[in-house]
Chains A and B, each alone.
Chain A
Amino acid sequence: MDLVSAWVAAFLTLAIYSFLYKDNPLYRFAESLFVGLSLGYEIGIVLHRTIIPNLFQKLAADPGRNWYLVIGGVLGIMLYLRYVQRVSFLGRWALAVYMGYFVGVELMQRLHGDVLPQVKDTMLPLLPLSLASVQNLLVLVGVLSVLVYFYFSRPHTGILRPVSRLGIWFIMVCFGASFGYTVMARISLLVGRLTFLVDDWVRPTLAAILG
């Protein structure tokens, strides 16, 4: 049974990789299967892991304590009202609540997680002069020039021009480092897939054939 599932997985893996040559019926089959299966699977996941346990079961178990869950349920149903022309505007209200809530939550998360720590970590001492001072100066110049690049209220002319150009150089250096790092991570994913093909498909198949 393991060998059968390995064959199915290997076939689908190779079908997807066949796109590297060109678009072909095998790729289209794997693509359609992937899209259809994933959609059906996600519906099952949302129903059985979110809606039923977090809404229906909790409401049925203790409606007095969990009454507020009705608000979420009603907002969810309101999203579907967009298909009823007369009350379609109610769908927008539900979307507005959803967006407003998350924007508020994310704003504070960004303040705590990104802005404040980065501001503090840039306030580095330049004295006494040492190798660390040079590094601190580099961090300071990098942060300030990138901030100037992303300043939209003034045209990049005069003194802002060279500073913003320095900022874009810092950004590009950062992109280069990030590019290399991510490509290495992708190669490790490829290695993982090739290892699967060799260890879980080719070797067991050869072992089964050769006894």
Chain B
Amino acid sequence: MGSMTVGWWDKARVFVPWLSRRCSAVHRAARAASVLFGGALLMLCVSATPCMSDLAGASADSAIALVTLSGMETTATPSRFFREERLNALLLFTFFAGAILAYIGLAKKGAPLFIRKIAGLDAVDEAVGRATEMGRKVLYIPGIMSVDNIQTVASMSILGYVAERTAAYGTQLEVPNKDPLVLATAREVVKEAYMKAGRPDYFQEDMVNYVTYDQFAYTAAIQGLMTREKPATNFLIGSFYAESLIMAEAGNAAGAIQVAGTAELAQLPFFVVACDYTLIGEELYAASAYLSREPLILGSIKGQDLVKAALIVLIVVGMVLSSLGIGEFADFFTQE
């Protein structure tokens, strides 16, 4: 029975690389198909009429299926397949996605893509070094939202970098989690970072642990942990809400050096006043690109910069035209 299992597994191990090689051909075909689909979609932009009721039914059913999958409640409203009033979003999305994909392609080819250094990033090495000198742990709080939140995704990239540093210096790291999916992701990220640093023996599953799903119970536990175990360094990076000041204050009172980062506008002031360094808004995403140098993230930041430059031009043009009494240009950006 055992040899049968091994035989099946060996076959699978041969099959997966074979499938992977074939997948590159499939991948090329899929890209060609996506270009064709994109072209067709753009043609629809020009010629679509609201009489596509058959397609509308299919698209509504698909949407309901996906939304139900995600556990959300929705009400099915009959809709047209193509809404001309949303052309602005389609065009912006196409430009946005195109810019990002183009830059990702450039980054993958090894083109030198510049991203300016962000002030708070020097603090990451400094903070881990301080914990090493003091012989105390580094505490990393990845926020309270799940991995569907972009800030949590960025936080995972920074966690990877911090874990690499703690692995290299032999510093103790603890990552308490509120969300079960973030727990699974963070554990993978930290494990991979320790392997990358050549110290897989230092990795322990308990380093990345689970507390509870309740926001303020989690906060109370973190507050207690900061006070009792007195970590030398606290990283508060991700999506935070009402618990931000409680955690930052507890860390401050415990004498830890604190590096925070979030894109939650209402919480940023609290981090600015209670932490030593704060990554403000989009700096959080740029920081993950700067630290990881991953082509995907780097290309994404460069693409976003291009979109920002385009928006600046659009806003100035729109302002000039509005001042001249031509309001149609600004109206194009109106939502229904």
Residues of A within 8 A of B (CB): 16, 19, 23, 27-28, 30-31, 34-39, 41-42, 50, 54, 68-69, 71-72, 79, 82, 86, 91-92, 95, 98-99, 101-103, 105-108, 111-112, 115-117, 119-120, 122-127, 136, 140, 143-144, 147-148, 150-156, 171, 174-176, 178-179, 181-182, 186
Residues A122 and B319 in contact in the complex (CB < 8 Å), given A31-B221, A152-B115, A153-B115: yes
**Is B132 on the interface with A (CB-CB < 8 A)?**
no
**By the criterion CB–CB under 8 Å, are B283 and A69 in contact?**
no
Q: Which of B47-55, B88-96, B162-170 contacts A (4 or more CB under 8 A)?
A: B88-96
CA distance A122 to B316 in the complex (A): 9
Contacts A111-B93, A178-B265; A35 near B68 (Cβ below 8 A): no
A interface majority secondary structure:
helix
B220 touches A126 (CB 8 A): no
B88: chain A residues within 8 A (beta carbon): 116
Nearest chain B CB to A104 CB, angstrom units:
10
Instruction: Please give, as numbers and ranges, the residues of chain B lying within 8 Å of A150 by CB-CB distance.
Output: 281-283, 308
**A74: min CB distance to chain B, Å:** 11
A151 and B308 contact, CB distance less than 8 A: yes
Given contacts A102-B148, A106-B150, A116-B89, A39 and B315 within 8 Å (CB-CB):
no
B309 contacts A151, C-beta separation under 8 Å: yes
- State the B residues within 8 Å of A (CB): 9, 65-66, 68-71, 86, 88-89, 92-93, 96, 114-116, 118, 147-150, 153, 181, 184-185, 188, 211-214, 216-218, 220-221, 223-224, 227-228, 242, 245, 265-266, 268-270, 272-273, 280-283, 286, 301-302, 305-306, 308-309, 311-312, 314-316, 318-319, 321-325, 329-331, 333-335
Please state if A116 and B281 are interface contacts (CB–CB under 8 Å): no
Q: Do B213 and A122 touch (CB < 8 A)?
A: no
Question: Given A95-B184, A123-B333, 17 other A-B contacts at CB below 8 A?
Answer: A35-B214, A36-B212, A42-B213, A54-B68, A82-B184, A86-B9, A98-B148, A102-B148, A108-B93, A112-B89, A116-B334, A123-B322, A144-B316, A147-B311, A152-B301, A174-B265, A182-B270
Residues of B within 8 A of A95 (CB): 147, 181, 184-185
